[in-house]
Amino acid sequence: MALLDVENLEISIRFGHELLPVVRGVSFSVDENETLGIVGESGCGKSLTALAIMGLLEGSGVRVTGGRMRFGGRDLLAMSADERRHIMGNDMAMIFQEPMTSLNPVYRVGDQIIEALQQHRNLSRRAARRRAIELLDLVRIPEPDSRVDSFPHQLSGGQRQRVMIAMALSCDPKLLIADEPTTALDVTVQKEVLDLMLDLQKRTGTAIILISHDLGVIAETCNSVAVMYWGRLVETAPTDALFETLAHPYTRGLLHSIPAIDRDVDWLDAIPGRVPTIGEQIAGCPFHPRCPRAESRCRHEVPQPREIAPGHLVECHFPYGGDR
């Protein structure tokens, strides 16, 4: 049984009297020890999917309008708000792109970790402080004994993101969702933070969902990849299989943004056009206005997911590597 199983998830946003779907029938699962990358351009529904799993959409005018999500076999959508909060505090944690907006600038970082620890565990303040220092050490903050008393602005961007990871780990989550955790960091620091996450995963077995617009980051970090376009998963596969075939034209377009990978594929120059907006009506395949392989069938018929190899699903009438 997968740790997290998302089936046909639909999320909609309210516009006046209308509910417009923004995530449309998304299915994937994540196991212990696994890192799943969700990749796509901004506005494709990656962050909303993450927030839905965390139960953080409530009250935002955006809500889950269909599908199922099971965590450890339990139906997340059927739970009471209390049960959900308990899971969020104990079994799932999330880190965001910009730690400065998640860390409170007027509190010392140690106090913020201590507060997170005391919310989840019955620890004395002294024990919580000791644990906070251990966590800072675990995420490789230098001199954690004194850094524990720093304010967020006294730390570098990379260190602040490490503090966020320490806070996320304070509850020993079974699932860690990282939404563009390294996008605001420069490339070397980015790599350090990703390596740190993977290293912690090796020790704890935590499942990770890594959300990024950068297929390169996903390629280096994840066991499997889900490519999202306009609220749908257009290609899902184990990482090796995905890069082997690059079956969906959109996946190929995304790959173009990774300059360093040396592969013999016929590159798209860039993905022309733009992501359709919410509420826009597009007949057939939603990618057809931008797709170099589009044929008339693509303009009329929505492609359904099909399995082109074990565990490799593609929503396209004419995937690369398939019959034409």
Among the listed residues 24, 70, 293, 312, the single contact to ligand SF4 using CB under 6 A: 293
Q: Return the structure tokens found at 197.
A: 């996450």
Q: How many residues bind ligand SF4 (CB under 6 A)?
A: 12
Sign of CA dihedral 308, 243, 48, 84: positive
Binder of residue 253, out of ligand SF4, Mg ion, none (CB less than 5 to 8 A by kind): none
Chain positions 166 to 225 lying near ligand SF4, rule: CB under 6 A, are none
In the bound state with ligand SF4, the residue whose beta carbon lies nearer, of 217 and 298, is 298
**Residues 279, 15: contact at Cβ < 8 Å?**
yes
In the bound state with Mg ion, the residue whose beta carbon lies nearer, of 47 and 223, is 47
Q: How far is the CB of 297 from ligand SF4 (least distance, A)?
A: 7
> How far is it, in rounded angstroms, from Cα 231 to Cα 11?
9
DSSP state string for 86-115 = HHHHHTEEEE-S-HHHHS-TTS-HHHHHHH
The 11-50 contact track toward Mg ion, x by CB under 5 A, reads ------------------------------------x---
Chain positions 97 to 156 lying near ligand SF4, rule: CB under 6 A, are none
Phi, psi torsion values for 25, nearest 5 degrees: 70, 55
Binder of residue 47, out of ligand SF4, Mg ion, none (CB less than 5 to 8 A by kind): Mg ion
Binding flag, residue 183, Mg ion (CB under 5 A): no
For 157, the 3-state DSSP assignment is helix
Tell me the one-letter amino acid at 210: L
> How far is it, in rounded angstroms, from Cα 132 to Cα 269?
48
> How far is it, in rounded angstroms, from Cα 115 to Cα 194?
25
Residues that bind ligand SF4 (CB under 6 A): 249, 285, 287-288, 291, 293-294, 298, 303, 316-318
